[in-house]
A and B are shown apart, each in its own frame.
Chain A
Amino acid sequence: QKEVEQNSGPLSVPEGAIASLNCTYSDRGSQSFFWYRQYSGKSPELIMFIYSNGDKEDGRFTAQLNKASQYVSLLIRDSQPSDSATYLCAVKYTGANSKLTFGKGITLSVRP
C-alpha cells in the first residue's frame, strides 16, 4: 500500500523565519511529488511540484527531493502570517492509472 507520511506538526514559526515541512513516502516507484496549501474550509491549491532529485525554487518556496531517502520537503522563506495553513504532501506513481496519494498534512502557524 502506498503511504505518505507527514508526522511532524503542528508547526509554529515567527514571521520572517524559515518554515520547514517534511514528508516521506513508501513507494520507491513514485515519480511525481506535490505540495498543496489548504486554508480552512477551502480546497487545496498547488504550491510546488517536483520530479527530479535536488532543489526546486519558486519565489519564497523551495521543494527538496531525495529519492534515495524517499523524502520530500518544502521550505518557506520569510514566512508571512498569510502562509498559515495546512500543507499537504502528495505523491503520484506514474502509470496508466496513477492517482495522487495525500499525506495527512501539517498545520503551519506564522506568528506576527
Chain B
Amino acid sequence: GAVVSQHPSWVICKSGTSVKIECRSLDFQATTMFWYRQFPKQSLMLMATSNEGSKATYEQGVEKDKFLINHASLTLSTLTVTSAHPEDSSFYICSARVKGLPLFSYEQYFGPGTRLTVT
C-alpha cells in the first residue's frame, strides 16, 4: 500500500525558533498534499493544501507567513513553523493524494504525524 512518512516524529524547540517538518510519499507520486493540525482531544483541522510546483492554499484563519509550505516535488512537501510559540504545540499530520486517480476515489494517505512541543 501507499506509504507516507514524516520527519521528525517529534520535536521540542524553544519559543521564537523555526521548525521544519518533512512529508514524503515513499512509493507513489502525490499531486496534492494536505497539512492538518490536531490539538488534544480535538479533530483534525486542515491547515493548507499544496500542489506540486504551485503555492499552497491556506484555510481561513491559518497564517501563511507563519506556516510556510513548500511542495518541491511529487514526493516531498515541507511545513515550516516560523517563530514558534507555545500555542503552536500540536500534532501535525500530513496526507498525500495519489497522482492519476479519479477525484472521487479514495486515495488520501496519512503520515504518522509529528508531535511539536514549543517551550
**B-contacting residues of A (Cβ < 8 Å)?**
31-32, 34, 41-46, 49, 51, 88, 94-105
Contacts and interface: CB of A to CB of B under 8 A. Distances in A.
A42 B44 CA distance: 12
Interface string B99-119: 000011010101111010000
B112 A43 contact: yes
Interface of B: 34, 42-46, 49, 57, 91, 93, 95, 103-104, 106, 108, 110-113, 115
A99 B112 contact: no
B106 A31 contact: no
Nearest to B60: A1
A88 B110 CA distance: 14
A99 B111 CA distance: 16
**7 closest pairs, A vs B, by CB?**
A43-B113, A104-B43, A102-B43, A94-B104, A43-B110, A49-B106, A102-B44
Contacts of B57: 97
Contact of A100 (B46, B104, B111): B46
B49 A42 contact: no
* Most chain B CB within a 10 A radius of its CB, from A43, A45, A97, A103: A43
Contacts of A41: 91, 115
Contact of A98 (B91, B103, B115): B103
A99 B34 contact: yes
A73 B111 CA distance: 25
Contact of A51 (B34, B43, B49, B104): B104
8 contacts: A32-B104, A41-B115, A43-B110, A44-B93, A97-B49, A99-B49, A102-B44, A103-B43
Given A104-B42, A105-B43, A94 B103 contact: yes
Contact of B93 (A43, A97, A98, A99): A43
* Most chain B CB within a 10 A radius of its CB, from A44, A45, A101: A44
B106 A44 contact: no
Given A99-B49, A100-B108, A101-B46, 5 more contacts: A34-B106, A94-B103, A99-B46, A102-B44, A104-B43
